[in-house]
Structure 1
Amino acid sequence: MRYEAPLNDFLFLLFDVLGVEQLQHHDKYAEATPDLIGAILSEMGKFSADVIQPTNQAGDIQGCTLDPETHDVTTPETFKNAYTSFVEAGWTSLDAPVEYGGQGLPHVLKFIVDEMVCSSNMAFGMYAGLTHGAISALFAHGSDELKSIYLEKLVSGEWTGTMCLTEPQCGSDLGMIRTRATPRDDGSYSLEGSKIWITGGEHDLTSNIVHLVLAKLPGAPDTSKGISLFVVPKFLENGERNGVYCGGLEHKMGIKGSATCVMNFEGATGWLVGAPNDGLRAMFTMMNEARLMVGMQGLGISEMAFQESLGFALDRLQGRALRGAENPESPADPIIVHPDVRRMLVRQKVVNEGMRALALFTGHQLDISVSHPNQESRQVADDMVQLLTPVVKAFLTDEGFTNANLGLQVLGGAGYTSDWPLEQLVRDARITKIYEGTNGIQAMDLVGRKLGLAGGRAISALFALIENFITEDEEVPHAKELRAALNRLQEATSWIATNGAVDPEQAGAVATPYLRLMALTVIAYLWSRMSAVASRKSAMGEGTQALMNGKVLSAQFYYDKVLPETEGLLTDILSGEGGMMGLKEDYWAA
């Protein structure tokens, strides 16, 4: 079915709930008026449906191909024209720096565009998606000379960028990388080594590809503290082919239109980005942005899965409603009348809207952190972004995959066939839980780094935000349940702080349920906010009544059917590592 961008939900969240219109009072975003934002989102919704979505199934079937002689990669034939249109329409430059040709619009707007692109074709969206992270890394850490060479063409979409981290012997343990960079007399470096799983490492969409590569200098510490970052273009400024080649394409279960490459660096010329041995910090600029983008991938697929399964449930005739025939003139009723089908559909809808609220809340905080005139306000917002980034990445991809599976279940046997799009959505969604740091690593980042950020400043601010929301308004919807969830999150946090300090394995053992507990609690807070706004607007006869009434009922479903999971999560956390780490090797096969 044709993708329909949830524009009403976007606008409700941006302006009725989050108050994003206030950004136009910050100098950085003075042009970001509600009218402009609304027009951009409407246009992107049409572009996603008309230009990007038609490339999705064909791209999955055709995939990418490698010429072993030339090392060139050909993308699916539908991608080239779509990418050209994407670039010509200016979508690559939306929130990029104005001084390098970008439009300088709010990051939260880019979050929504990412969702729409990934609903339409996630594999296609990855070429421009990682380029944006490369732009941010070079803008933050590159020299003026490197910026002048690369940024304008990356921003325009004339060139794309990659992130080259993983090697055959190491994934997330980057201290084990073996790629080496040897200084040359002219200030450049010669890179030798191989990287795997490189998204967009080679393709035919642009005239040049700019690789950001982690490598070690001679004599550097053989740990993550000895990593440097280099920019390595496919073609040098003089047009000469650089010594970086695609050595193979990965064989994958999904995102087959995305060229996932083995990249070999054979004396490739590169230039240092930032300071020697400080590459990991520079790369984290790109990685954190990529993690937020991956969260939007999970949400985008989840939204498309919901739309597909809802459309099917409205049309598919099977059985009769338990209350009696609803369509007696037809041989059967549509399956949406059946409670179990309705349960799956409503959960998809409610969780999607909650995840969208979490993502846009985080995106709004990101914009405040770089634009607010008050330094303290910027710091509070930045703390919130740091805290919630692993939550957005992990929870949105966990639930995105779950909702894609729910959508397939709604279709039944049809969903398992390639005649319908759900099986591709399930396959595509699965990688989001793995790359840019597995969701287990996101959970470890949350409990191991973010809870202790600035002496607990970030988590304390989150607690205060929810507490103040509950206490400042006596009419807060679901206040009792929200306070109970907040208490559980606070108790779990205290338990981790106490027990994790004594035994780090205790914190590691409960990191995943803790991240989920935080996500469900923050989304509960946002559902309460959405319900309050919708109730008020409905009582005043404002807005679309179906949307407002739907929000109130959706909040009720979330509190009745989803939030109670936090009780079990707290029990899980308080049990600690239990027998998990004590299970000895000879017990596994006993």
Structure 2
Amino acid sequence: MPEFNAPLRDMRFVLHEVFEAPALWARLPALADHVDADTADAILEEAAKVTGQLIAPLNRSGDEEGAHWLAGQVTTPEGFKSAYNTYIEGGWVGLSGNPEFGGLGMPKMLAVQFEEMLYGANSSFALYSALTSGACLAIDAHASEPLKSRYLPPMYEGRWAGSMCLTEAHSGTDLGIIRTRAEPQSDGSFSLTGSKIFITGGDQDLTANIIHLVLAKLPDAPAGPRGISLFLVPKVLVNDDGSLGQGNAVSCGSIEHKMGIKASATCVINFDGAQGWLIGEANKGLAAMFTMMNYERLSIGIQGIGCAEASYQNARTYARERLQSRAPTGAVAPEKIADPIIVHPDVRRMLLSMKAMTEGGRAFASYVGQQLDLAKFSTEPQEQQQATALVALLTPVAKAFFTDTGFDSCVLGQQVFGGHGYIREWGQEQLVRDVRIAQIYEGTNGIQALDLLGRKVIANGGASLRLFTTHIRDFATRPGKPYASELLDAVQRLEDVSDWLQARARANPNETGAACVEYLHLFGYVAYAWLWARMADVAQRSRSTDPGFYDTKLATAQFYFSRLLPRTLSLEQGIRAGSESLFQIDAAHF
């Protein structure tokens, strides 16, 4: 049975050495008093125990059993409820939540490391609390004080869960055509009627209540996305004293039978005149819901990293132990019948590709977490404004690039196992199935790419992009920085392609959609190059203190720059080919 062990050494390296997070926290008043390096390390150590010893052992059994639906009730697999009760005792659901309502108030830089552990250990289990954390964020940002006071404390505690109800059978990406309706009531509440599909954790037996955040339209609402409002709809109504009352008119019609994440209940949720309360302003619900959606997009991106890390750990162990053939240069283990397959160049190519992309993703996730912390806690308006702009620019990259490359890494890990990678007992095929959804839900990766190029680059004339590339150039032009020339070439390529696309898109709107996926990948590889150069810079200066770790980091950086970053050349060629070839075939002839 595969095991999962949180990569604590690398997490501490990224957090403390590359980004110097404790120094950042010390200058942010909201964080300075309750988090430092020792606190962060203690949290990571405990998180590693919880994920590795409590949650990871349920991963395969949960996949084998799956979630159950019977007569409108969902039951999670054996062991999930007991593990969840232990999990919430540690306060993990409210790790980065608002302390005013019972959250622990930890920085996002720390939370992204924990989320990676959680997804690496058990993606299905992780999703139940991930949706709750995102719902809390939206409620805290947009709901009235009475709603926040009533619902946030038990949600942060993990006693109540949250869900996000957007999609309908006819309405996925195009939320403007949803049919769920909300009728005002005399007591200030609303009566919601409609059906939502693909609702992660829409029903389960882990918590006493589920707080649904539901997109719906008021009577006479404007057409399209400008007519959407957001409502809080509890599964069980809450009395004035905070105790649970009678059931609301909310039911689970069925659960989906899925390719992966089988222990996560993906539900059809029906609202039959259910009582709910408006969050934020009428007809501005989509903007409020984006607070949760953007949280979930980063979280689901981290699912890609976590699954890739688990796949890498399994493949690395297998490659060290599996004996097949001799090394091309002669026997490495002459006392054995064959050499371990890690001696073979192609196996090393696969392992190093996984390692380089996963560690690059970990650094990128931490960087986005850093910007989220600055956007939320900085007392300097310009710094806060720039961080907010960078978060908007980088969120679609994080969601799509993490999950595209995370899926690739899980497939590579399966390939290292050969035929055993196709067999359930080894765990690799489950990782491939589980991570595949991450490229689809919370906005498909194609939509993320369109958002990046169309809304975050072209729409503002590349202003946010220049903010990001300025940081890269500032690093690369300092004396003695590793891979400076390669990094400057790469960032110049990104800027040139961006300028070319802006000009082309003005003349032909198809250019944006034709190029956006390749553009997002080009962006991702350049961003990882910057972070690998930063990691190599730290490793060069620190290698004498831990040669084994830092020399490995330097060697992985060299692999990234020599074997992976050149992919940007072909991506550029594909982008500059333009959209014409996509439209030469009539739809009837496909």
* 1:197 match: 198
1:438 maps to which of 437, 444, 458: 444
Q: Please, which moves more after superposition, 433-442 or 371-380?
A: 371-380
Residue type at the aligned position of 2:456: K
* 2:586 match: 584
* 2:473 match: 467
Q: How does 1:112-127 map to 2 (within 5 A)?
A: 112-127=113-128
* 1:136 match: 137
Structure 1 residues 8 and 330: CA distance shift in structure 2, 3 A: same
2:577 maps to which of 566, 575, 578: 575
Q: Please, which moves more after superposition, 322-331 or 171-180?
A: 322-331
How far 1:455 sits from its partner (Å)? 5.0
* 1:552 match: 554
How far 1:3 sits from its partner (Å)? 1.4
1:495-530 Cα offsets, whole Å, 9 max, x none, are 121111222211111000000001100110111111
- The 8 Å contact of residues 3 and 57 in structure 2, kept in 1 or not, is answered as no
* 2:313 match: 307
Hey, what's the Cα distance between the residues in 1 that align with 2:126 and 2:251? 23
How far 1:120 sits from its partner (Å)? 0.5
The answer on 1:482 being equivalent to 2:475 is no
How far 1:578 sits from its partner (Å)? 2.6
* 2:504 match: 499
How far 1:456 sits from its partner (Å)? 3.4
Hey, what's the Cα distance between the residues in 1 that align with 2:390 and 2:268? 36
Hey, what's the Cα distance between the residues in 1 that align with 2:462 and 2:421? 46
How far 1:24 sits from its partner (Å)? 2.1
How far 1:254 sits from its partner (Å)? 0.3
Hey, what's the Cα distance between the residues in 1 that align with 2:110 and 2:377? 15
The answer on 1:410 being equivalent to 2:416 is yes
How far 1:25 sits from its partner (Å)? 2.1
* 1:27 match: 29
Residue type at the aligned position of 2:404: D
- The 8 Å contact of residues 229 and 274 in structure 1, kept in 2 or not, is answered as yes
Q: How does 1:86-101 map to 2 (within 5 A)?
A: 86-101=87-102
Hey, what's the Cα distance between the residues in 2 that align with 1:504 and 1:32? 48
1:394 maps to which of 386, 396, 400: 400
Hey, what's the Cα distance between the residues in 2 that align with 1:313 and 1:551? 20
* 1:215 match: 216
1:262 maps to which of 239, 261, 268: 268
Hey, what's the Cα distance between the residues in 2 that align with 1:127 and 1:573? 39
Hey, what's the Cα distance between the residues in 2 that align with 1:98 and 1:457? 35
The answer on 1:348 being equivalent to 2:349 is no
How far 1:245 sits from its partner (Å)? 0.3
1:86-133 Cα offsets, whole Å, 9 max, x none, are 100111111100000111110111111110011100000000001011
The answer on 1:48 being equivalent to 2:51 is yes
Q: Please, which moves more after superposition, 571-580 or 196-205?
A: 571-580
Hey, what's the Cα distance between the residues in 1 that align with 2:330 and 2:307? 35
How far 1:41 sits from its partner (Å)? 0.5
Hey, what's the Cα distance between the residues in 2 that align with 1:86 and 1:108? 21
The answer on 1:527 being equivalent to 2:528 is no
* 2:73 match: 72
Residue type at the aligned position of 1:201: G
Runs of 4+ in 1 over 2 A off after TM superposition: 452-457
* 2:425 match: 419
How far 1:572 sits from its partner (Å)? 1.1
Hey, what's the Cα distance between the residues in 2 that align with 1:452 and 1:367? 26
* 1:168 match: 169
Q: Where in structure 1 are there 5+ consecutive unaligned residues? A: none
1:433-455 Cα offsets, whole Å, 9 max, x none, are 00000000000110111115655
- The 8 Å contact of residues 362 and 388 in structure 1, kept in 2 or not, is answered as yes
- The 8 Å contact of residues 161 and 212 in structure 1, kept in 2 or not, is answered as yes
How far 1:583 sits from its partner (Å)? 2.0
The answer on 1:508 being equivalent to 2:513 is yes
Hey, what's the Cα distance between the residues in 1 that align with 2:45 and 2:523? 32
How far 1:457 sits from its partner (Å)? 2.7
Residue type at the aligned position of 1:11: R
* 1:16 match: 17
Percent identity between the aligned chains? 47
Hey, what's the Cα distance between the residues in 2 that align with 1:581 and 1:528? 40
- The 8 Å contact of residues 461 and 502 in structure 2, kept in 1 or not, is answered as no
Hey, what's the Cα distance between the residues in 2 that align with 1:407 and 1:77? 28
Q: Please, which moves more after superposition, 450-459 or 388-397?
A: 450-459
1:179-222 Cα offsets, whole Å, 9 max, x none, are 01111111111111100000000000000000000000001122
- The 8 Å contact of residues 213 and 230 in structure 1, kept in 2 or not, is answered as yes
The answer on 1:565 being equivalent to 2:567 is yes
Residue type at the aligned position of 1:257: A
Hey, what's the Cα distance between the residues in 2 that align with 1:95 and 1:237? 25
* 2:157 match: 156
Residue type at the aligned position of 1:5: A
* 2:242 match: none
* SS of residue in 2 equivalent to 1:172: coil
Residue type at the aligned position of 1:259: A
Hey, what's the Cα distance between the residues in 1 that align with 2:285 and 2:267? 22
Residue type at the aligned position of 2:269: M
TM-score by length of 1: 0.97
1:33-81 Cα offsets, whole Å, 9 max, x none, are 001101110111111110000110110011111112xx11100011001
Structure 1 residues 254 and 446: CA distance shift in structure 2, 3 A: same
The answer on 1:275 being equivalent to 2:302 is no
2:296 maps to which of 290, 298, 310: 290
* SS of residue in 2 equivalent to 1:91: coil
Hey, what's the Cα distance between the residues in 2 that align with 1:95 and 1:152? 13
- The 8 Å contact of residues 383 and 457 in structure 1, kept in 2 or not, is answered as no
1:141-200 Cα offsets, whole Å, 9 max, x none, are 101111111011111111000000000001110011000111111111111110000000
How far 1:15 sits from its partner (Å)? 1.4
* SS of residue in 2 equivalent to 1:182: strand
2:64 maps to which of 57, 61, 65: 61
* 1:184 match: 185
1:357-384 Cα offsets, whole Å, 9 max, x none, are 1111111111111112211011111111
TM-score by length of 2: 0.97
How far 1:7 sits from its partner (Å)? 0.8
Hey, what's the Cα distance between the residues in 1 that align with 2:439 and 2:284? 28
* SS of residue in 1 equivalent to 2:15: helix
- The 8 Å contact of residues 462 and 498 in structure 2, kept in 1 or not, is answered as no
* 1:321 match: 327
Hey, what's the Cα distance between the residues in 1 that align with 2:209 and 2:68? 18
